[in-house]
Copies of this chain bind each other. A is one copy, B any other.
Amino acid sequence: MKLLEDRIKAEGKIYPGNIVKVDGFVNHRIDVKLLKEIGKEFYRLFADSGVNKIVTIEASGIAFACATAMELGCDVVFAKKSGHKNVGDDVYTEKVISFTKGREYDIVISKDYLSKEDKVLIIDDFLADGNAAKGLIGIVEASGADVVGIGIVIEKGFQPGGALLRGIGIRVESLAIIDSIDGNTITFR
């Protein structure tokens, strides 16, 4: 998605350790015009896939999941990170290792909101090692629902998540794939 790649080139901030910060338009301040276009692009990619539910994970995935759901006309369920009193006990749960936080946490979705009839599109802002995505796939499959595909705003192509997920037959559509960061130069796939 050229609009997104251009924005990453213009405003992404590069830090040591192959970190690209896009908090100016993706995961702290959200550019709502770009958000709408991202929703439309995921709609274009998945409109014919029979999706009836979008699953994401709090917090940064929620905006993109909702923008996509508005186009597809379906509901969103967002996985919560552990420590929520008000989810109840009847949940699907998986353990996830966070790349940015450097620790392990549980993610949960209430069993009330996934069923074996669901055709689920997973949406998230970033794909790096694929840990959050694997956790969400585990939860969706535990419910008996189908994972139709995964829509990612920015994939870090030099980390193993994308290859790993595609390798097990999951359809992964990333709107921008960063293949390398060399000094101040970002190269897209």
Contacts and interface: CB of A to CB of B under 8 A. Distances in A.
> What's the interface size class on A, roughly?
35 or more
Given A76-B29, A78-B28, A21 B66 contact: no
Nearest to A34: B75
Given A23-B87, A58-B59, A62-B63, A28 B102 contact: no
Nearest to A66: B63
A85 B60 CA distance: 14
Question: Chain A: interface secondary structure?
Answer: mixed
A149 to B, nearest CB: 19
A2 interface: no
A112 interface: yes
A138 to B, nearest CB: 18
Contact of A86 (B21, B58, B67): B21
B100 A30 contact: no
Interface string A110-128: 1011000000000000000
Could you say how many copies of this chain the assembly holds?
2
A35 interface: yes
Nearest to A27: B86
Interface in A58-89: 58-60, 62-63, 66-67, 69-70, 73-78, 80, 83-87
22 contacts: A19-B86, A21-B86, A24-B113, A28-B78, A28-B80, A28-B87, A28-B110, A28-B113, A29-B77, A30-B69, A30-B77, A32-B73, A32-B74, A32-B76, A35-B66, A58-B59, A62-B62, A62-B66, A63-B76, A66-B66, A84-B100, A85-B101
